[in-house]
Structure 1
């Protein structure tokens, strides 16, 4: 379920949304490296910034999902997406998967907005990725027929480690992780197909 054996073209064909997200966040990271005032302006306008959201810059609830602070941040989130997104995209379908990914990320950023102080800034796909873990957790708890026991144990173990690391690592948007996870759980009942092939 979490081991990718497809070649490049097959991966793109089977998982178009996952591919598009991976490509988009890489392109944005590369573009934001360009030392031009216009690029810096766009970077400043798209990061998560609670004060900006309070002033009506609502797009900051969405754009941070695709922006990363550095290469290691980008690499870690991209690897997580590469490993855990394809199975859900196949299971849910492209539109439902996109809805749960962006929806969870936005819910994570809304939680960040209401709980963190006005000057708080943040970037990263972690809230959306934790939303995917939320869907997996929903499957483990309520839709056991969609995933076998071995994969369920893998997910529960990885989720437990990820939640623990959320509170151990420095400079982590804890609220995005928690609310993203809860968002994935909440979005699963309406978005997860009633009948779906299990893994």
Structure 2
């Protein structure tokens, strides 16, 4: 389920949504990091509670695709490449992208209401934790969709992820928590017609 056997070409063919999101990550990181004036452009998309308060509601969506460094972008893209494909196959492409984006937006809304007004954030981990929320729901309520070994992998990754969330100062704790909750809340809806990944 989480072990990739595909080559690059077959991966992109079978999982176009995951591939597309990763390409967007890379392109945006390149534009904002390498091109003149990129940092100024980056500011227009980062999560900013103050600017959301003043009506810039696109900032609830755009941070999902932005990253603070190459390592940040690489880690999140790698996580998506591992944990995204099974859900893209199980949910179908339209439901998968809706789940991914809505989880990230819900996480950023949660950040807006809980974090200080001068709080800034960016990164796709909000949406990725939404995917973990869907998997956690499967582990607890839809055991027909996930086997024991992969359930143990999800629980282990979640424990490690939450420990890192609270012990690293540069992580948006709110987005991880609300992303996880958002994904779990969406799960009973998006998994209604899901079939097991093989």
Q: Which whole-Å deviations, capped at 9, do the CAs of 1:79-115 have from their partners, x for residues lacking one?
A: 1101100011011111111011101100110111111
Q: How many residues align?
A: 198
Aligned residue number for residue 24 of structure 1: 24
Q: What's the offset of the Cα at 1:119?
A: 1.0
Q: What's the offset of the Cα at 1:188?
A: 0.8
Q: Which whole-Å deviations, capped at 9, do the CAs of 1:136-172 have from their partners, x for residues lacking one?
A: 0010011101111111111111111111111011211
Give the 5 Å matches for 1:119-198: 119-198=118-197
Distance 1:118 1:75 in 2: 29
Q: What's the offset of the Cα at 1:198?
A: 4.1
Q: What's the offset of the Cα at 1:9?
A: 1.4
Unaligned runs of 5+ in 2: none
SS for the counterpart of 2:29 is helix
Q: What's the offset of the Cα at 1:195?
A: 4.6
Distance 2:177 2:11 in 1: 30
Distance 2:43 2:154 in 1: 36
TM-score of the aligned structures, taking structure 1 as reference length: 0.96
| 1:4 paired to 2:4 | yes
Would the alpha carbon gap of residues 198 and 9 (structure 1) be closer, same or farther in structure 2, given more than 3 Å must change?
Answer: closer
Give the 5 Å matches for 1:16-165: 16-37=16-37, 39-165=38-164
Distance 1:164 1:33 in 2: 29
TM-score of the aligned structures, taking structure 2 as reference length: 0.96
Distance 1:195 1:71 in 2: 34
SS for the counterpart of 2:33 is coil
- Paired residues of 1:92 and 1:192 also in contact (CA < 8 A): yes
Moved over 4 A (4+): none
Unaligned runs of 5+ in 1: none
